[in-house]
Amino acid sequence: MRHFIVELTYTVTFDQLADVIPLHRAFLQTAYERGWVLCSGPQLPKTGGIIVMRMESLEAVTTFFEGDPFKLRRLADYRFIEFDMVKRQSLLDAWR
């Protein structure tokens, strides 16, 4: 598995996302259930979000996010950053 940071930048104010946030979080939950996402949440200040995940390829990550309600409604722009997890806390040994 390869590791990624997904950075979302909202294209509207955080308050304008209120109706779509539950849909976005339900979408992310499907990735949590598959073991793809370690953690996620809004940036502070709330101008975007961060998701730490693992998948087999960058193409798989970008394809997955095509179904994100934020993407479908053009409420966020996405930046996908692949990284090599060289060091980690022992609690992440199974996530390697």
Q: Is residue 95 part of a domain?
A: no
Domain that holds residue 28: 2-85
41 lies in some domain: yes
* Single pTM value for the model: 0.94
Quote the tokens at residue 23: 């849909």
The answer to the question of residue 64 being in a domain is yes
Rounded Cα–Cα distance for residues 2 and 19 (Å) = 32
Residue 91 within a domain = no
Nearest to 32 by CA among 44, 40, 22, 42: 40
Per residue in 12-50, pLDDT tens? 999 999 999 999 999 999 999 999 999 999 999 999 999
Q: pLDDT, tens digit, for every residue of 54-76?
A: 999 999 999 999 999 999 999 99
Number of domains in the chain: 1
Contacts of 5 (CB under 8 A, 6+ apart): 50, 51, 52, 80, 81, 83
